[in-house]
């Protein structure tokens, strides 16, 4: 019924008194024939009324989308919206993981500006890229991940497809799992970056969690992690954060990575690495890729999603890649063909701007070295802020609580251990915006604001249960 009303309404964009009367007499009250609603609609469209047209009023009043409920705000991006709406002078946005300068301003890397200038000088065009993306980018990104001389690359066992940053690349990997590993389960850490669950849900891939964070030690629950990976059905996919685990900032040690690889190998699982912070955790690109390289060196087949949002500050350029390291060049070629087939109906082909920036920066030794220096600078600033926050908290809090976890965690975030009510207090009383799982982004903090944040954390921890 609703559809017949709407189609009548949409036809009536041209003035038609017969349509008007048809609508008035035939429409059932529930969906717009109701005189009251009808009149109300006309009143709010005086223009339509005066010209004798009812079309717009009807079309708007009887929405075909009425059955669609309001979606909740995104738990991470929604924090920025709330922050914008707050008029307080002392407000602090520690929700989204985006790097800020000491003045808390967004930062465009100098190497990015130089790469953009190069593009202008060359007069690069805006033609479509192939479905798999820019060839120079795909080469650069696989080499950056695995090391240029990696045998898997030389043996052409790596299928690399440019993706829409980390999220889009994970989504392509999830689509591949859904299509070719029917019923396979994905294991994700508890907790994990909030979007992982959305990604696998939307790709219709079943997932469950493995233990990762131990609230008692505010550290890694290594035993629990190993047990859960062991007890998962053989051939499951295990999502692992390559470095700088989000949200906890807690990474396995190199020895623990070896043991994780042992169990995954024993159980014939397939690791699916999410590498969103290469170079940003330690300041070294190679060190931060060590976990992935360890698995690949064992000859394991591995999926890796990469992102350049954080380490090159290309958040809005949506540049990343999905890499599938396979045991033979033939299967790598087949996998790549299928990744392209999955990408084509989703977005056809990826954007070129960010891909050129990465290819130019990684492919040019001068720019590459400048990038490494800038990355070290950014990682260094975050480390300084982490130390300063720890110093401020420990000098103010005499309760004997051990805050050393702040220093042990790495990367952009600190997982404070604050619960939802305490996190709410941080926002409502102190104007500190953060995710409700107690995560704060240290990349959004300055040395100057550490004292204030320390007061907020101490108050929330001790005075809110
Ligand atoms: C663990 C993790 N994976 C992936 C991403 C993807 O980010 P993007 O899609 O911006 O590259 C993020 C961003 O916060 C992240 O923290």
Residue whose CA lies nearest to ligand 1 atom number 6:
166
Q: Which residue has the higher pLDDT, 53 or 66?
A: 66
pLDDT band at 212 (very low <50, low <70, confident <90, very high): very high
Instruction: Give Cα 119 distance to the centre of its chain.
Output: 28
* Cα 167 to averaged position of ligand 1 atoms, centre (Å): 6
| Ligand 1 site, residue 196, Cβ cutoff 6 A | no
Question: Are the CB atoms for 84 and 72 separated by under 8 Å?
Answer: no
- Ranges 19-23, 170-174, 259-263, 361-365: which has the least confidence: 19-23
Question: Are the CB atoms for 304 and 240 separated by under 8 Å?
Answer: no
Residue whose CA lies nearest to ligand 1 atom number 14:
97
Of 411, 442, 444, 416, the closest CA to residue 243 belongs to 411
Q: Which residue has the higher pLDDT, 188 or 11?
A: 188
| Ligand 1 site, residue 306, Cβ cutoff 6 A | no
Q: Say what the pLDDT of residue 324 is.
A: 98
Mean pLDDT throughout 343-365? Answer: 97
Statement: residue 110 has pLDDT above 50: yes
Residue-wise pLDDT tens digits, 146-163: 999 999 999 999 999 999
Q: What does pTM read for this prediction?
A: 0.86
Q: Would you list the domain boundaries of the chain?
A: 2-61, 77-108+375-463, 130-363
State the Cα–Cα distance between residues 411 and 273, nearest whole angstrom.
Answer: 17
Quote the mean pLDDT of the chain.
88
- Report the atom number in ligand 1 closest to the C-alpha of 193: 1
Mean pLDDT throughout 176-192? Answer: 96
Statement: residue 137 has pLDDT above 60: yes
Residue-wise pLDDT tens digits, 229-279: 999 999 999 999 999 999 999 999 999 999 999 999 999 999 999 999 999
Top-level class of domain 77-108+375-463: alpha beta
Of 237, 157, 228, the closest CA to residue 203 belongs to 237
| Ligand 1 site, residue 278, Cβ cutoff 6 A | no
Top-level class of domain 130-363: alpha beta
Statement: residue 34 has pLDDT above 60: no
* Cα 418 to averaged position of ligand 1 atoms, centre (Å): 23
Mean pLDDT throughout 18-24? Answer: 36
User: CB-based burial of residue 24 (10 Å sphere; 0-12 exposed, 13-18 middle, 19+ buried)?
Assistant: middle
């Amino acid at each position: 019924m609703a559809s017949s009303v709407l189609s009548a309404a949409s036809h009536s964009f041209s003035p038609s008194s017969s349509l008007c009367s048809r609508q008035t007499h035939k429409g059932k009250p529930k969906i717009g024939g109701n005189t009251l609603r009808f009149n109300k609609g006309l009143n709010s469209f005086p223009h339509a009324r005066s010209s004798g047209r009812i079309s717009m009023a009807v079309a708007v009043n009887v929405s075909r989308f009425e059955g669609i409920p309001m979606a909740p705000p995104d738990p991470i991006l929604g924090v920025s919206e709330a922050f914008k709406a707050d008029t307080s002078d002392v407000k602090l946005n520690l929700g989204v993981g985006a790097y800020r300068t000491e003045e808390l301003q967004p930062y465009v890397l100098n190497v990015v500006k130089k790469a953009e200038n190069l593009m202008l000088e060359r007069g690069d065009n805006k033609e479509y890229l192939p479905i798999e993306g820019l060839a120079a980018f795909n080469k650069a990104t696989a080499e950056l991940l695995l090391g240029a001389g990696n045998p898997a690359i030389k043996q052409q066992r790596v299928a690399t497809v440019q993706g829409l940053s980390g999220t889009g690349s994970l989504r392509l990997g999830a689509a591949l799992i859904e299509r070719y590993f029917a019923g396979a389960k994905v294991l994700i850490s508890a907790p994990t970056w909030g979007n992982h669950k959305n990604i696998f849900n939307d790709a219709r891939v079943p997932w469950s969690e493995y233990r990762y964070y131990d609230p008692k030690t505010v550290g890694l629950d290594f035993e629990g992690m190993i047990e859960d990976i062991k007890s998962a059905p053989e051939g499951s996919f295990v999502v692992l954060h390559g470095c700088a685990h989000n949200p906890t900032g807690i990474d396995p040690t190199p020895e623990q990575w070896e043991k994780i690889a042992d169990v995954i190998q024993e159980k014939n699982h397939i690791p699916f690495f999410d590498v969103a912070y290469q170079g940003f955790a330690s300041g070294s690109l190679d060190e931060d890729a060590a976990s992935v390289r360890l698995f690949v060196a064992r000859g394991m087949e591995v999926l890796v999603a990469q992102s350049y949002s954080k380490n090159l500050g290309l958040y809005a350029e949506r540049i990343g890649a999905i890499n599938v390291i396979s045991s033979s060049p033939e299967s790598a070629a087949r996998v790549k063909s299928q990744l392209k087939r999955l990408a084509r109906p989703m977005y056809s082909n990826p954007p070129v701007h960010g891909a050129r920036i990465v290819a130019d920066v990684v492919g040019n030794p001068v720019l590459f070295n400048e990038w490494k220096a800038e990355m070290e600078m950014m990682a260094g600033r975050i480390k300084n802020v982490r130390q300063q926050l720890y110093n401020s908290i420990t000098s103010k809090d005499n309760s004997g609580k051990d805050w050393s976890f702040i220093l042990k965690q790495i990367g952009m975030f600190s997982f404070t251990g604050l619960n939802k009510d305490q996190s709410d207090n941080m926002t409502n009383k102190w104007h500190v915006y953060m995710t409700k799982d107690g995560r704060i982004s240290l990349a959004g903090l300055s040395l100057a604001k550490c004292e204030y944040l320390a007061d907020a954390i101490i108050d929330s921890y001790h005075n809110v249960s």
